[in-house]
Amino acid sequence: MERGFTFSFYVGLVMAAFTFVYLMTMLVFIDRWFGLDSLLGMFNAVVYTSLAVLCAASYRLAMLTDPGRVPTSFLPNTEDSEASIREIKRKGGEVRFCQKCSQHKPPRTHHCRICNRCVLRMDHHCVWINNCVGHANHKYFFVLVVYAQVACLYSLVLLFGSLTADYEEDASKLFFCITYFISGLPLISLSFALIALLCWNIYLITHNKTQIEYFEGVRSIYAKKGGPVYSNPYDIGAHKNMSSILGPTVLDWICPTTEHIGTGLRFPTKYDELLQAHTPE
């Protein structure tokens, strides 16, 4: 389900940076190294444009896809003693209830103060997409980071490769030196930032954790010989964890399509079972 587009300063900044990097890569890096009228130049232009299209499509889906709303009919089944997971308040031991939304909250659901509503499996609110990252759009956010990282690294390769091109005159050399400095510095900074963000998201997804759960230390405890053992109650294995967010096949993992909206928990995890069990038809 799509949400309405709302423009913000950060969204405008992302669009401006995307346009700037794309134009610099096409009109300066590729053109200076190969020439846009050459076979290699056209090949690199097509490949880079394809990456740019994938980035734009992923960004649109991450920004416009509703991250997940709590069903109005949701009620926690407090009498079911066999429920695999039941989240309660830290203080008082009561069932979680959102006073602002006036509704019960399923496991892993949190209230976003910026969006002013509860979000299913909320990871965080991202100002760069002006939307929460949650149950229905987590895949699009992750794929966006992947393609943005690949595009930045590709652009850096083209930048350094184009530095080997000969300059015909001193005036042209000075112009391109200034151009490379203006474009190279933010591009390198962006690449390092995206590498850190990608590694962080890979860790969270393979462990089936959200940022909120990581920083709040959400875990379960069970008895074992030698003392209590703590574990992540939603961790079902690295491959299944990734499949539950990105889809069952590798093609699903890299393809930003609308086919997987709302299937952020494709496998029957404990959370999915609990949510379905307590949500009337």
CA distance 270 to 267: 9
Residue in 13, 4, 263 with CA at minimum distance from that of residue 140: 263
Longest Cα–Cα distance in the chain = 81
> What would the two tokens of residue 83 be?
């429920």
Residue in 33, 44, 25, 57 with CA at minimum distance from that of residue 152: 25
CA distance 89 to 226: 29
Q: Which amino acid type is present at position 56?
A: A
Residue in 233, 208, 207 with CA at minimum distance from that of residue 218: 233
Residue in 14, 66, 57 with CA at minimum distance from that of residue 255: 57
CA distance 88 to 180: 55
Strand partners, 221: 230
Please enumerate in sequence order all residues whose Cβ is within 8 A of that of 92, keeping only pairs 6 or more positions apart, or say none: none
Please enumerate in sequence order all residues whose Cβ is within 8 A of that of 18, keeping only pairs 6 or more positions apart, or say none: 52, 55, 56, 59
Q: Please tell me which residue in 118, 126, 132, 152 is annotated as part of the active site.
A: 126
Active site residue 126: yes
Burial 57-70 (b: 16+ CB within 10 A, else e): bbbbbbbbbbbbbb
Q: Judge contact between 145 and 271, C-beta under 8 A.
A: no
Active-site positions? Answer: 126
